[in-house]
Amino acid sequence: MTAVQTFDILSLTDEARNVVLDALANEAQSEGLALFVEVTGTRGAGYSYDLYFSDRADAPEDAAIGRDGDVTIVIPARSVDRLRGSRLEFASDGGGGLVLVNPNVPSPEEMNPGVPAEILALGLDGPMATFAASVLEQSVNPAIASHGGRADLVALDEEKKVAYIKLSGGCQGCAMSRMTLSQGIETSLREAIPELEGVIDVTDHASGENPFYANEH
C-alpha cells in the first residue's frame, strides 16, 4: 500500500479537523478508522464527493494515505489528482457542515461522460449546433423554467445528426425528465430541425435533487 504526504493533496482547517475528530470519537469502534475522501462524479461545474469513515485496512492498494494532525486520510488513486491542493473547511452557514474547497475542475469529458470525446472536440460552432442551441434557448427553456428546469446543448454530431442534451435545475433527477425530454425537448428540436436523427440525454440524474437513476447504476 503506497503512502504519500496526504496534506499535499488535501488539508483540513482547524475547525474541520475538530469536527472530524469529534465525529470519530462518537463512533462505537474508532480505533483504526480513517477519513476516506473520494470524487464520485460531477455536480454543476465542479465535482461531487463522498466523505466517510472506514477502517484504514480497507483502503485500496494504490490509495494515498497520510495524516493531517490526528486525522488519518485515505484518498483512492483515481481521486488523487482531482483533489490535489484541496482543503476541507467547516462552514457555519445553514446549520454548519464540512465543505470541500477544490481548485480543480472537471474536464469537458468528465462533465459529459455520455458524449464521445471526438464529438465534444467538434464544439458547438456548426450551423446545426448553433440553430439547435437557439431553439433550446428561445423555445424550450422558457417552457420548462416554471419548475426551475433548463436544457443545454453540450454537443452535436452534425454528420450523424445526433444532439446531446444536458438537463439541470428542476429537471435534473426529476422522475418526469424522461417525458420532458421525449415529449417536449426532442419534439421541439425535431420540429425545428427535421433532419435531426436523435436526441440523447447525458444528464447525471443520480446527482439531482430527486434522482431516479440511483438504483440503476
Residue range of the domain that includes 186: 111-207
Q: In a 10 Å sphere around its CB, with 0-12 CB exposed, 13-18 middle and 19+ buried, how is residue 15 labelled?
A: middle
Lowest-pLDDT range, 43-47, 106-110, 161-165, 201-205? Answer: 201-205
Contact call for residues 67 and 73 (beta carbons, < 8 A): yes
pLDDT above 50 for 176: no
Q: Cβ–Cβ contacts within 10 Å for residue 110, how many?
A: 13
Digit-coded pLDDT (tens) for 39-80: 988 776 788 899 999 999 999 989 999 999 999 999 999 999
Q: Is residue 217 part of a domain?
A: no
- Answer yes or no: do 101 and 182 share one domain: no
Confidence label for 108 from pLDDT (cuts 50, 70 and 90): confident
Residue 120 and residue 195 in one domain = yes
CATH number of the domain enclosing 81: 2.60.300.12
Would the CA dihedral through 78, 81, 82, 88 be positive or negative? positive
Residue-level pLDDT at 186: 85
Q: Among the three residues 75, 105, 135, which one is the final residue of a domain in this structure?
A: 105
Of 105, 140, 173, which marks where a domain is finished? 105
| Lowest model confidence (mean pLDDT) among 20-24, 35-39, 80-84, 173-177 | 173-177
Is the domain of 94 the same as that of 119? no
Whether 17 maps to a domain, the answer reads yes
The per-residue pLDDT for 39 is 92
The answer on 85 and 173 residing in a single domain is: no
Whether residue 212 is contained in a domain is answered as no
pTM of the predicted structure, to 2 decimals: 0.63
Q: Let me know if residue 216 belongs to a domain.
A: no
- Is the pLDDT at 3 greater than 50? The verdict is no
What secondary structure does DSSP assign to 52-78, as a single string? EEEEGGGS-TT-EEEEETTEEEEE-HH
Contact 86, 16 (CB under 8 A): no
* 11 plus 87 within the same structural domain: yes
For all residues of the chain together, what is the average pLDDT?
Answer: 82
